[in-house]
């Protein structure tokens, strides 16, 4: 069995369809001077859909260490994110490829690192078979999940459909992919949703995390919702219910909070205490 996914860059929309997908690989950077202008929006869209997220860097000739630094500066990593080197430029040697991957693994040991390349690069330019934590092979001439390489593969980019590159991951389920990607968590998915930052809590945001928060606020006796419709979209009911939770938490822990401390958006302390289950 395999898991479906796509990869996107600035050529694709920031609101691509996530139906039926388990992961999205997003172009982040190229060389030491290019940042995909849609990277942040495309990553946020994938996260909102609960997908495993990957970030990839298109290598150009030059300092590999400088490119690793630039990549990590702009990737915006979170736990369970995947990193990948896009090796397509003929001016980047096999030795450069190996140096980039090794430097990336050293600088970001908590994340899985993949090598992306096509069949020609893998069979005729590579000399070491070194691909970090896994090979992301591009082979549109073969059926999904059957790339024409003998080496074990992790992702297979097999076609372009609707202007988007289609991929499959060599895992039995999306949960298995996420567990593998969570290298920094010993393969375990966090029990509770980590605090996404105050700026994440914008009215109208749609996410399974919002629905999980809704359920927890009801469970802790802070139900100020007037409807259960669209419970995965942040609205006035979420604001009123969460502010009720902040008042309850403050009273229970003798915080004596007042003013902005009791108002929306959520803070890290009360969010962690709410124990919103990982979704």
Q: What's residue 188's pLDDT?
A: 44
Say if residues 86 and 186 touch (Cβ distance below 8 Å): no
> Mean pLDDT across the stretch 264-272?
92
**Structure-token match 């996260």, residue found:** 47
Give the residue among 123, 67, 135, 74 at the shortest CA–CA distance from 96. Answer: 67
> Mean pLDDT across the stretch 30-51?
95
Say if residues 171 and 2 touch (Cβ distance below 8 Å): yes
d(CA 51, CA 54): 10
Q: What's residue 191's pLDDT?
A: 66
Q: What's residue 4's pLDDT?
A: 95
Q: Where are the alpha helices (DSSP H) in the chain?
A: 39-48, 64-75, 94-107, 119-120, 174-181, 208-219, 236-252, 268-274
Q: What's residue 175's pLDDT?
A: 86
Containing H/E element for 115? strand 112-118
CA 69 to chain CA centroid, Å, is: 19
- List, for residues 55-93, the tens digit of each pLDDT value: 999 999 999 999 999 999 999 999 899 999 999 999 999
Ordered structural domains, the chain, with CATH: 3-185 (3.20.20.80), 198-274 (no CATH)
Per-residue pLDDT for 14 more than 60? yes
Q: What's residue 1's pLDDT?
A: 66
Say if residues 56 and 155 touch (Cβ distance below 8 Å): no
> Mean pLDDT across the stretch 186-212?
79
Q: What's residue 187's pLDDT?
A: 41
Burial pattern 210-221, b for ≥16 Cβ within 10 A else e, equals bbbbbebbeebe
> Mean pLDDT across the stretch 136-159?
94
By the 10 Å C-beta count (0-12 exposed, 13-18 middle, 19+ buried), 15 is classed as exposed
Q: What is the mean pLDDT of the chain?
A: 92
**Structure-token match 């605090």, residue found:** 195
């Amino acid at each position: 069995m395999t898991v479906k996914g796509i990869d996107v860059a600035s050529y694709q929309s920031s609101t691509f369809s996530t139906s039926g997908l388990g992961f999205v690989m997003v172009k982040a950077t190229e060389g030491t001077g290019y940042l995909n202008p849609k990277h942040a929006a495309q990553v946020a869209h994938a996260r909102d859909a609960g997908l495993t997220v990957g970030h990839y860097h298109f290598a150009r000739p030059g300092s590999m260490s400088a490119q690793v630094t630039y990549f990590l500066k702009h990737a915006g990593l979170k736990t369970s994110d995947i990193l990948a080197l896009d090796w397509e430029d003929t001016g980047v040697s096999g030795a450069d490829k190996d140096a980039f991957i090794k430097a990336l693994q050293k600088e970001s040991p908590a994340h899985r690192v993949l090598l992306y390349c096509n069949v020609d690069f893998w069979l005729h330019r590579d000399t070491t078979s070194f691909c970090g934590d896994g090979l992301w092979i591009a082979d549109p001439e073969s059926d999904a999940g059957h790339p024409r390489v003998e080496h074990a593969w992790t992702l297979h980019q097999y076609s372009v459909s609707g202007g988007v590159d289609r991929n499959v991951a060599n895992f039995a389920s999306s949960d298995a992919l996420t567990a593998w990607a969570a290298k920094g968590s010993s393969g375990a998915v966090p029990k509770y949703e980590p605090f996404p930052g105050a700026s994440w809590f914008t009215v109208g945001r749609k996410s399974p995390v919002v629905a999980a928060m809704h359920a927890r606020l009801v469970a802790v006796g802070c139900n100020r919702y007037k409807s259960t419709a669209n419970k995965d979209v942040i609205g006035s009911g979420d604001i009123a219910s969460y502010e009720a939770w902040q008042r309850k938490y403050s009273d229970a822990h003798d915080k004596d909070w007042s003013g902005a401390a009791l108002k929306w958006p959520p803070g890290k302390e009360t969010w962690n205490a709410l124990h919103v289950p990982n979704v």
